[in-house]
Amino acid sequence: MKPITDPELAQFQRFIFDKAGITMSAQKKALVMGRLARRLEFHSLETFSQYFHLLTSGHHADEVQIAIDLLTTNETYFFREMKHFDFLREKALAARSRSESFRVWSAASSSGEEAYSLAMVLADCLETTPWEVLGTDISTRVLHSAAQALYPMERGRHIPQNYLRRFCLKGSGEHEGKFLVERNLRSRVQFRQLNLNVALPSIGSFDMIFLRNVMIYFSDETKRDVVERVITALKPDGYLCIGHSESLHKITESVQQVAPSVFRKAQ
């Protein structure tokens, strides 16, 4: 197998932008080569151009999804940016008396830590009030991990101790050193594949949407398209949470900031 060349890297930069809206810098050259090398070996290919042609031939949809999975960066952990969960707690407690379901969407849920964190807060606050959590991602690989809900023990270090005891089971035997999100909570979280760069499927409307730490990979034009698309799924007076390092400045006027990285949709 030959090392990836700059023109070949450019092919994959265009590929992941077209498929996922992700702008991948030239500094990711080693990452692209490292993540795709096994696929070249699997198909007995010598060059990355040959693999690119395989992906774009129109005859290998499964391989296209594998390549997207491998090139999509998925970094997350439980209760990341805790102030957002404090805000969710406040809004969930205010909704305890209502009869309609309180719905939250983790729009870039990766391997599920964010979605299960949301579910823990809702289960704790809402008691008999119905609630739902939807987790979506473009990567089928991470969604499979999310549905399993099995994590290395160190990944739980940010989970509040009372939640860890209440909602997580310590592994033993072959699962020594891991923990499992307990079945009842797990059953309340739905995961499905969704590409934020195309028209949304029918997923209903949400009280809160978490679109965090994903826009950093998008161009300004893609950010505008994705944010406006996501906001259409937000209920009037619903809230959108983005990452603390992200901004909606010059991206949209459809929501107004009410707290650091928290925005409300007008009625």
Nearest-angstrom CA–CA distance, 185 and 168: 9
Nearest-angstrom CA–CA distance, 144 and 170: 20
Catalytic residue among 35, 141, 155, 224: 35
Q: Decide if 220 is catalytic.
A: no
Q: Among 183, 117, 121, 122, which residue's Cα sits nearest to residue 148?
A: 183
Nearest-angstrom CA–CA distance, 191 and 140: 10
- CB-based burial of residue 224 (10 Å sphere; 0-12 exposed, 13-18 middle, 19+ buried)? middle
Q: Among 68, 143, 139, which residue's Cα sits nearest to residue 112?
A: 143
Catalytic residue among 103, 137, 207, 212: 137
DSSP 148: H
Q: Among 65, 56, 44, which residue's Cα sits nearest to residue 14?
A: 56
Q: Where are the beta strands (DSSP E) in 27-126?
A: 102-106
Q: Decide if 207 is catalytic.
A: no
Catalytic annotation, residues: 35, 137
